[in-house]
Structure 1
Amino acid sequence: MKISARNSLKGVVKKIKIGHISAEISVEIVAGIIITAVIKKSSAKHLELEVGKEAYVVIKSSDVMVAID
């Protein structure tokens, strides 16, 4: 895989929740650390995602912020 985004994290699919239009995909990148992405339902099917399958979480953002109350 070659991609221009610099923030890609390899992990294992832990949970897939398919909705009417979108899908929530939870990927464990290290023990106990799970990142959940919302993607199109058709994209989830195209990627043939399954629980236990290896996948990459790719993060592309122009800003990352931190806030407190």
Structure 2
Amino acid sequence: MEISARNSLKGTVKKVIHGSVNTEITLELGPGVELVSIITKSSAEKLSLVEGKQAYAVIKSSDVIVAVD
């Protein structure tokens, strides 16, 4: 797989919650480290995303917000 985004994080699908249009995917990147994404239901089905499957979170830097207290 080659992509133009510079940030890809490999993880394991921990939870899949299907809605009528969108699906919420929780990836476990490491022990206690999770990332949640909302994608279309059709994309989740096309990728065959199920608990236990390996997947990548691909993050485009223009869509990442950084904050501090």
Q: TM-score, normalised by structure 1?
A: 0.91
Unaligned runs of 5+ in 2: none
Aligned mates of 1:58, 1:16 — CA distance in 2:
17
The CA RMSD measured in Å over matched residues stands at 1.1
Report whether the alignment pairs 1:25 with 2:32.
no
Consecutive aligned runs of 4 or more in structure 1 exceeding 2 Å deviation: none
Aligned mates of 1:40, 1:6 — CA distance in 2:
23
Give per-residue Cα distances to partners, 1:32-65, cap 9 Å, x unaligned: 1000000000000000111000000111131523
How much identity, in percent, do the aligned residues show? 50
Q: TM-score, normalised by structure 2?
A: 0.91
Structure having the higher helix fraction is 2
- The alignment covers a number of residue pairs equal to 68
Unaligned runs of 5+ in 1: none
